[in-house]
Structure 1
Amino acid sequence: MRAKIDSGARSSALHVDAQWRFSEGGAPWVGFRLSPGAVGAGAVECLVPVHDERMVTDSGGNRGARVFVRTGLRLAGVEREIEINLADRRGMRFPMLLGRTAMARVFTVDPARSFLHGKAGPNSAAPAAPYSDIPTP
């Protein structure tokens, strides 16, 4: 999934088309639907425990409560668990925003470059090439 790397954002956000809350065994859960691929590729539904609910300020300065979940992130051959909030990012260029807490102590951002580890495609599950193997434009 394409993501905007945003070191100015504290938290990460994922666009969901719909979300709903429910309880499972007395604990809060959230269900959500997202379309991770190309237009018309189909939607995916997920059911996960709610990790937290916090106030978030968006880029327009608007504050609102958002649900946070824990999920796995695989980026540049590195896998780690991150927390991400579920948001309506309709109209945004990227369905996912990767904030600085998800990148902390693992990644360095080069704002002058893009797609350093390749673009997502049909074989995107394959390990990415190390930074040193990617030519400078």
Structure 2
Amino acid sequence: MSENKLVLGWREWLAFPELGIVQIKAKVDTGARTSCLHAYFVEPFERSGEAWVRFGIHPRQGNTKEEIHCEARVKDRRSVRDSGGHEELRYVIETPVSIGDQHTPVEVTLTDRDTMKFRVLLGRSGIGEQYVVDPARSYVQGKRKRRSARKGAR
């Protein structure tokens, strides 16, 4: 029943603590199955015999000076169709996401979203069964803190 679920607005502030991202604006997209994270470059490499990627993000729309460089183990590569019907082969990583006080692992594809308003799309698999989405509300799980999106930055 929905009375036991937490409410999300159509947009929320998230964090990806293992990637060093303390805050990033996301569109909650029930039309997307998988979540995706902006990555303006993605470089595959190998670590201890496993596939990894390093990638860079611009956590704030319109600000290409602020950069966060991340590394994560590759979980998969998948063909993803965007809302315009274009298919793209993307790297998939799994990393914890923090929404308000909740922390949960989520699969995320990496793609360049520099021209998009939101750096993250939180899809159905990231929303899971613990949330219900109220499309008339925004930032239900917390407002943006006035600081850098990068861990340790001022």
Relative to the length of structure 2, the TM-score reads 0.75
Aligned counterparts of 1:88 and 1:33: Cα–Cα separation in 2 = 10
Counterpart in 1 of 2:10? none
Aligned counterparts of 1:79 and 1:26: Cα–Cα separation in 2 = 29
Q: Is the 8 A contact 2:94 2:106 kept in 1?
A: yes
Query: What is the Cα deviation at residue 42 of structure 1?
Result: 2.4
Give 3-state SS (helix, strand or coil) of 2:126's partner. helix
Bigger-Rg structure (1/2): 1
Query: What is the Cα deviation at residue 27 of structure 1?
Result: 1.2
Unaligned runs of 5+ in 1: 124-137
Structure 1 runs, 4 residues or longer, greater than 4 Å off: none
Higher strand share: 2
Which of 30, 40, 59 is matched with 1:17 structurally?
40
CA RMSD of aligned residues (A): 2.0
Aligned pair count reads 125
Larger relative contact order (Cα-Cα within 8 Å, sequence gap ≥ 6): 2
Counterpart in 2 of 1:26? 49
Aligned counterparts of 1:45 and 1:113: Cα–Cα separation in 2 = 32
Relative to the length of structure 1, the TM-score reads 0.83
Query: What is the Cα deviation at residue 37 of structure 1?
Result: 4.1
